[in-house]
Structure 1
Amino acid sequence: MAVASEQRHKMIGDVHLLLTDGQGRVLFGRRANTGYEDGAYHLPSGHLEAGESVVAALVREAKEEIGVTIDPTGVGFAHVMHNSSSGGRVAFFFRVERWEGEPANMEPDKCDDLAWFALDTLPDRMIGYCRDALGHIAGQRQFSTFGW
């Protein structure tokens, strides 16, 4: 059993977007030139910034990465995962079914493909914690841990 530290842990927060089309497919980008999991598909995502809510972060990341505008009132909670990477981080997954604009690759220096996938036919190469979280989402489980 691990011994608790007297020092408080500071945790990184991530947001992940399940942009879902009328056929129930989810949009993924393929990582490129990042130095981490290049060639793997991943949901549009990013870190929380200081003073930002998880919904505001999701709306910002959607605009920055795929050029769509999301109404914060249309964001639906899907899952939260406590991930052991980087000493512990919390990943929030949200589903969005309505947005403005056509999804486009706004970060070609970090992404070389955008593609829609059904949750039961995910791409072969994905980042492990994301695949795990999507399995929990498909099973309607709202919380999970990964890597502990």
Structure 2
Amino acid sequence: MSHTQVIGVHLALIEEGRVLLGQRAGTGFADGQWHAPAGHLEADESVLRGMAREAEEELGITIREEDLELVHVLHDLDADDGTGRLQLFFTARAYGGRITNREPGKCARLDWWPLDRLPHPTVGYAAQAFARIAEGRQVSVFRRSG
């Protein structure tokens, strides 16, 4: 039996102990919850290119691939559809431009939150990843309850 993994890329933009999160809206996934700017890879796209593309599409900022640093890998065991997901969390050493909400149809608003006091509700696996990032842990596994 083969196993499929979907790869997600997430921007863990942390400045002065606060992380940038967006409140999801109108997507059908976790609407109303807070989440990191994120997306999935496109065909033949590297994880670095995908993260840089998502940052530009969602936030209007440019990040050079060499300025991205992998800070956490979360293996999301999705009980809902049986598809495993590797969620990669990157931080940016530098970026250009001004952060703006470029997808208001998918993101109600952007805000900075203390890394140790995330808003409620935050998407479960993202909350776990940020807790592990704060602890300095590089890898975790998330199992959905139910």
TM-score normalised by structure 2 residue count: 0.92
- Higher normalized strand content (fraction of residues): 2
Q: CA deviation at 1:97?
A: 3.7
Contact 1:80/1:92 (CA < 8 Å) preserved in 2? yes
Distance in 1 between residues matched to 2:138 and 2:100, nearest whole Å? 29
CA RMSD of aligned residues (A): 1.2
Counterpart of 1:19 (choices 6, 13, 19) is 13
Alignment correspondent of 1:111: 107
Counterpart of 1:72 (choices 46, 59, 65) is 65
Counterpart of 1:129 (choices 113, 125, 131) is 125
Contact 1:17/1:43 (CA < 8 Å) preserved in 2? yes
User: Does structure 1 residue 120 correspond to structure 2 residue 116?
Assistant: yes
Q: CA deviation at 1:24?
A: 2.9
Distance in 1 between residues matched to 2:100 and 2:3, nearest whole Å? 37
Runs ≥4 residues deviating over 6 A: none
Identity %: 44
Question: Deviation digits for residues 58-113 of structure 1, max 9, x if unmatched?
Answer: 00000001110001111111010110124211000011142111111111111110
Contact 1:79/1:141 (CA < 8 Å) preserved in 2? yes
Alignment correspondent of 1:30: 23
Question: Deviation digits for residues 10-48 of structure 1, max 9, x if unmatched?
Answer: 210000001223x23211110011122111110000001
Contact 1:15/1:54 (CA < 8 Å) preserved in 2? yes
Unmatched tracts of structure 2, length 5 or more: none
Distance in 2 between residues matched to 1:100 and 1:25, nearest whole Å? 19
User: Does structure 1 residue 142 correspond to structure 2 residue 135?
Assistant: no
Distance in 2 between residues matched to 1:58 and 1:144, nearest whole Å? 20
Distance in 2 between residues matched to 1:119 and 1:104, nearest whole Å? 20
TM-score normalised by structure 1 residue count: 0.90
Q: Radius of gyration: which is bigger?
A: 1
Aligned pairs (5 A) from 1:36-55: 36-55=29-48
Alignment correspondent of 1:95: 91
The count of residues paired between Structure 1 and Structure 2 equals 141
Unmatched tracts of structure 1, length 5 or more: 1-6
Distance in 1 between residues matched to 2:21 and 2:101, nearest whole Å? 10
Distance in 1 between residues matched to 2:134 and 2:12, nearest whole Å? 12
